[in-house]
Amino acid sequence: MTQNIRKLTVLLAALALTACADQSLESDGAGPTNNQNTSDAGFNNGGGGSRDAYVPEQEEEFEFSAPAVVGDQVYVANETLNSVAVIDSRNLSISTRLVGFRPTQIVGPDAERAEPADDARVMVLNEGSQSVSILATDGEEVVTVPVMSRANSIEMDPTGTSGVVWYDPQKAKASDPAGDLSSVSVVQESESYQLSVGFHVRDVFFDDAGERALVLSDDGVSLIDLTSLSGDAIAPPTPVVPPEYQFSQPEDLEVLVSDDAQWAITRSASFEGAVLLEVDTGKHHFLPLPEIPTDIDLIDGDDLEVLIMLRAEGKAVRATIPEGFTAAAEAMDVSQQIQANGTDAGMDAGADAGMDAGADIGVDTGADTGSMDVGSTDTGSMDTGSMDVGSTDTGSYADTGQSADPFTFPMGIDGFEVFDVEVAGLGAASVALDGDTALLFTTLDAEKRAVLFDLETDEQRTLVFEKGVRGAISDRNGDTFLVLHSKVDGSILPGTTPADPEYIARSWGVSVVDVASAASRLVLTKHEPGQATLWAPEDADSKVFLIFEAPEALSAAEPSHRDVLTINLRSFRTDSFRVPSLPEGLGPIRSAGKIYISQRHPQGRMTFVDAATEARQTITGYQLNAGID
């Protein structure tokens, strides 16, 4: 099982903060250069002013997510013709299904994460008619059901049997009427039910079995049992943090959810610690930490674990979920009680931390196969510029009940370990999908060093890149990391060559890292990396297929914007080819051994690439039932 984790970063901001899993990289345009230190965030990260002010990592989130592909069939919605084109990727034959008015989003089962159900469906959100069309995958049947008004977002469980629809104000145009912020529609078979949930739905996540849905809102997580739903209902939210920490604004939270939807772990820009929530019981476990954690990642190994990065301390904390985390949390709670009942530990119990936690962070969803989004800027960086900590000269930890005395981690707890990171100042991590390795890095100050952390042996190997790091993701087998680099603002200077440091600094680029040898290769690119897809067969070399961001003004597009870069993740060989029109999306068709690349074209254009040989066929006008070019 590759998708053992759905990582969600609760937020609306512009920069990313965490990463995990499934196959779609996308950058939102110019992207951050990450060459400046934003240390004026105004948040003191430790007692007595001894540590630097809290500075958020600005990690570009990569995620792998399955496209709307079922078997050999590719499903493409046509907003103008109110239809869905079904393209057979083997022979490029086309059929058309009529759906509702203005279909905008299409979703299907995720075969990389779970075995599709026998009655798996494809679902299309029709924003114009406020409905969802349910398409059979073993025939031509189409059933359309009404959903909540103004819905503009849809997600489907990995087995392809249930869909959840909601209104996301961030996707709405300024002139659009507002939708309901406190409800979702659940679509199953030929039925649609409306459920009341928490205020301002942020995202929706499913367990691998397609039996549970978690709706993340400003009020917490609402659990929906998809196996017993039979009508409209209420799914009350459970806060992801305990009452004493609910001063945190929803935008300040990063939340991770286990693949069985049983556990949620949260960090915040507002307190020094992490919280583990038992979803079924609503019980919280608070783990105090010596500083605000700068990143958290789930580890999908023999046991489910969490990796917590503490940049100022130069440490990484690793805990099994739930045993190690809860045992450490209980030990810390007992230690604090003993200290509080003893002599004066330097706490000012009446001190007001003076926080204004109105910071933005971003939203991240993880999955683990299909297409990756490289550098999407809504993936979770913490912007603490609006936080005011008031007086920081008292030496107290803000709102955590911790004293200014040196922080002591609990020792001798099974499933709980603390490691010194060999390179100082690393505050972000990307865990390989197999759970064996983590790449530790920072997005600040154009730091070029990183650490490969072997999660089985605890060995650390230092890497030195030619450029700063924006984010990273591994292949499905954990053999390779693809690293997205930052760049210095400005164009490449005349007269410089790729061997010149200034040329490298002003170029876009990615690096490929071989985990076994720790060898890396830098690939410089003329344009900003956009989307990419990972091809990882069982019996051949893994590859990355990468397209580039189109310019905002399409008239400024150069022929090289149509290039597709391929990287062999075993040999590090790079190649490229050019498609007829500007690419806008791509993804794998595993049963056919192909990659599809959709392109901007008034009648629709798609190129199918043989993943092994890179032989290509292009179909144009599929929206009008045209044929192969």
Question: Is position 404 within any domain?
Answer: no
Residue 372 pLDDT exceeds 90 = no
Q: Which residue has the higher pLDDT, 112 or 557?
A: 557
Contact 527, 576 (CB under 8 A): no
Question: Is position 348 within any domain?
Answer: no
Burial 29-55 (b: 16+ CB within 10 A, else e): eebbbbbeebeebbbbbbbeeeebbbb
Contact 58, 379 (CB under 8 A): no
Residue 163 pLDDT exceeds 70 = yes
Contact 44, 397 (CB under 8 A): no
What mean pLDDT is reported for the chain?
A: 81
Question: Is position 340 within any domain?
Answer: no
How does residue 213 score in pLDDT terms, banded at 50, 70 and 90?
Answer: very high
Amino acid letter, 528: E
From the list 166, 188, 190, the residue with the least C-alpha distance to 179 is 166
Question: Is position 53 within any domain?
Answer: yes
Distance CA 40, CA 297 (A): 26
pLDDT of 449 reads 97
Residue 519 pLDDT exceeds 90 = yes
Checking DSSP bridges between strand 191-196 and strand 233-234, what pairing results, if any?
parallel
Cβ neighbours of residue 414 under 8 Å, at least 6 residues apart?
A: 323, 324, 327
Task: Go through the chain and tell me how many residues it has.
Answer: 629
Q: Which residue has the higher pLDDT, 266 or 39?
A: 266
| Most confident residue range from 55-69, 385-399, 459-473 | 459-473
Query: Domain range for residue 136?
Result: 5-335+356-389+412-624
Number of domains in the chain: 1
pLDDT of 522 reads 96
Question: Is position 396 within any domain?
Answer: no
pLDDT of 16 reads 27
Residue 624 pLDDT exceeds 90 = no
Q: Which residues, in sequence order, are bridge partners of residue 373? A: 531
User: What is the residue-wise DSSP string for 518-544?
Assistant: --EEEEEESS-EEEEEEE--SSS--EE
Q: Which residue has the higher pLDDT, 551 or 4?
A: 551
Q: At 492, give phi and psi (nearest 5°).
A: -65, 135
Residue-wise pLDDT tens digits, 385-415:
333 333 333 333 334 444 456 789 999 999 9
- DSSP-derived letter for residue 270 is S
Q: What is the token pair recorded at 565?
A: 């870069």
DSSP collapsed to 3 states, 3-27? CCEEEEECCCCCCECCCCCCCECCC
Contact 159, 209 (CB under 8 A): yes
Residue-wise pLDDT tens digits, 536-580:
888 888 899 999 999 989 899 999 999 999 999 989 999 999 999
How does residue 62 score in pLDDT terms, banded at 50, 70 and 90?
Answer: very low
Residue-wise pLDDT tens digits, 291-348:
999 999 999 888 999 999 999 999 999 999 999 999 999 998 765 544 444 433 333 3
Place of tokens 């059979």: 136
In the sheet that holds 460-464, the strands lie side by side as 428-431, 437-441, 449-454, 460-464
3-state secondary structure of 504: helix
Question: Is position 395 within any domain?
Answer: no
Residue 363 pLDDT exceeds 50 = no
Q: What is the token pair recorded at 193?
A: 């039910």
Burial of 217 (0-12, 13-18, 19+ CB in 10 A): buried
pLDDT of 249 reads 85
Residue 370 pLDDT exceeds 80 = no
Lowest mean pLDDT among 37-41, 279-283, 447-451, 600-604: 37-41
Contact 85, 96 (CB under 8 A): yes
pLDDT of 402 reads 43
Cβ neighbours of residue 445 under 8 Å, at least 6 residues apart?
A: 35, 37, 425, 468
Q: What is the token pair recorded at 393?
A: 């000269």
pLDDT of 126 reads 96
Distance CA 195, CA 177 (A): 21
Mean pLDDT of 38-59: 48
Question: Is position 345 within any domain?
Answer: no
Mean pLDDT of 181-187: 97
pLDDT of 526 reads 93
Q: Which residue has the higher pLDDT, 81 or 527?
A: 527
Distance CA 143, CA 192 (A): 11
User: What is the residue-wise DSSP string for 587-617?
Assistant: EEEGGGTEEEEEE--TT-EEEEEETTT--EE
Q: How far is C-alpha 547 from the chain's CA centre?
A: 19
How does residue 534 score in pLDDT terms, banded at 50, 70 and 90?
Answer: confident
Residue-wise pLDDT tens digits, 66-109:
347 898 999 988 888 899 989 999 898 889 999 999 999 999 99
Instruction: Give start and end residues of each alpha helix (H) in 96-248.
Output: none
Residue 285 pLDDT exceeds 60 = yes
Mean pLDDT of 133-138: 94
Question: Is position 238 within any domain?
Answer: yes
Contact 583, 564 (CB under 8 A): yes
Angle at 186 between CA 185 and CA 190, to 5 degrees: 115
The CA-atom distances, in angstroms, between 323 and each of 54, 225, 329, 410, 414 are 30, 25, 10, 14, 8
Residue 43 pLDDT exceeds 90 = no
Cis peptide before 551 (omega within 30 of 0): no
Amino acid letter, 430: S
Q: What share of the chain is helix, strand, coil (3-state, %, to 5)?
A: 5, 40, 50
How does residue 118 score in pLDDT terms, banded at 50, 70 and 90?
Answer: confident
Place of tokens 């809290």: 54
- DSSP-derived letter for residue 286 is E
Residue 12 pLDDT exceeds 60 = no
Cβ neighbours of residue 32 under 8 Å, at least 6 residues apart?
A: 15, 58, 60, 377, 443, 470, 486
Mean pLDDT of 28-56: 41
Residue 498 pLDDT exceeds 80 = yes
Mean pLDDT of 181-188: 97
